[in-house]
C-alpha cells in the first residue's frame, strides 16, 4: 500500500509551535518512527504552507497512491477549494488533526473537509496519524 501524508500550513514548525497543544516533536522525527512502525507500507510525505499546492498534490496523487492522509491545518476551517478537490478525485482522503478541534476556539469547530473525507481522526496528538494509517490499511484491503 502506498500512502501520501500531506501537512498544511505551519505544521513544518511542529516541535517549536505551541508545544502545549502540538507537542515538542518535529514531524520529521515522528515520521522516521512512523515509517519503521508501518514498514510494510510505502509512506511519502509532503508539507506546504500554500493552499493551491495542497490541491495540486491531491490531484496528482490520484492513481499514484492508495490513500492520502491530510492535515489541512488552518485551511480545514476555510477551504472550500480543498473540499471541492477531495470531492473531485477518486482516492480515499483521511482527515487528521493533532488537537481536538471541537474542544478548541469556536472558529475551529467547523471543518469543510470532514463531510468529504472518508474518515476524520483528531485529538490523539501525533498518534492521530498512526490511527489514520491503521484505518487506511483496513479500508484499502476490503474487497
Catalytic residue chosen out of the listed positions 30, 65, 75, 97: 97
- We find the least distance from the C-beta atom of residue 143 to ligand DQA, in angstroms, to be 32
Q: How far is CA 79 from the centre of its chain?
A: 14
In the complex with ligand DQA, the residue whose CB is nearer, 21 or 60, is 21
Q: 77: helix, coil or strand?
A: helix
Has 109 been annotated as catalytic? no
Q: What is the nearest approach in angstroms of ligand DQA to the Cβ of residue 95?
A: 9
Alpha carbon distance, N-terminus to C-terminus of the chain: 14
**Residues at the site binding ligand DQA, with contacts judged by CB under 6 A:** 10, 71, 73-74, 76, 97-99, 101, 108
Nearer to ligand DQA (CB atom), residue 108 or residue 119: 108
- Known active-site residue 97: yes
Compute φ and ψ for 95, nearest 5 degrees.
-85, 135
Nearest distance from C-beta of residue 71 to ligand DQA, angstroms: 5
| CA atoms of 65 and 77, how far apart (whole Å) | 26
| CA-angle at 88, arms to 79 and 58, nearest 5° | 65
Return the active site residues.
22, 97
Amino acid at each position: 500500500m502506498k500512502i501520501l501524508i500531506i501537512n498544511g500550513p505551519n505544521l513544518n514548525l511542529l516541535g517549536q509551535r505551541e508545544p502545549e497543544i502540538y507537542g515538542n516533536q518535529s514531524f520529521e522525527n515522528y515520521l522516521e518512527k512512523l515509517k519503521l512502525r508501518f514498514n510494510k507500507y510505502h509512506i511519502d510525505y509532503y508539507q506546504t504552507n500554500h493552499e493551491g499546492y495542497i490541491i495540486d498534490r491531491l490531484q496528482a496523487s490520484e492513481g499514484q497512491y492508495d490513500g492520502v492522509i491530510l492535515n489541512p491545518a488552518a485551511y480545514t476551517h476555510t477551504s472550500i477549494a480543498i473540499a471541492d478537490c477531495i470531492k473531485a478525485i477518486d482516492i480515499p482522503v483521511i482527515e487528521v488533526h493533532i488537537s481536538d478541534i471541537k474542544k478548541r476556539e469556536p472558529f475551529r469547530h467547523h471543518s469543510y473537509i470532514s463531510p468529504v473525507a472518508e474518515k476524520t481522526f483528531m485529538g490523539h496528538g501525533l498518534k492521530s496519524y498512526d490511527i489514520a494509517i491503521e484505518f487506511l490499511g483496513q479500508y484499502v484491503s476490503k474487497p
